[in-house]
Amino acid sequence: MVAPGRDSEKIKFKRTEGYPTAACVIHRGPYNTIGLAYSTVMKWIEENGYEIAGHPRESYIDGCWNKEDPADWTTEIQVPVNAKL
């Protein structure tokens, strides 16, 4: 397990409980285009027989704190899912 980073004025770290299955997508680029990644993962969930089972999560891998160019920012979107019955 990786230790969480240190909170700052701009960024707060939070540990959440795991979920056994999630649909995930990596978004590379500025935060103002992250909606495209959400659209992609939501469409995948619908088209592949899953239903959303919890709140989406964002894991900020690279961002304004360690990369100057927004094109280098990396965020993982995780959406807990269950297979539809």
Q: What is the pLDDT of residues 13-63, one digit of tens each?
A: 877 788 899 999 999 999 999 999 999 999 999 999 999 999 999 998 999
For residue 1, name the pLDDT band (cuts at 50, 70, 90).
low
pLDDT confidence of residue 24: 97
Domain boundaries, the chain: 22-83
Tell me how far apart the alpha carbons of residues 56 and 48 are, in angstroms, rounded to a whole number. 17
Give me the phi and psi of 63, to 5 degrees please. -165, -160
Structure tokens, 33 = 């285009």
Which of residues 8 and 74 earns the better pLDDT score?
Answer: 74
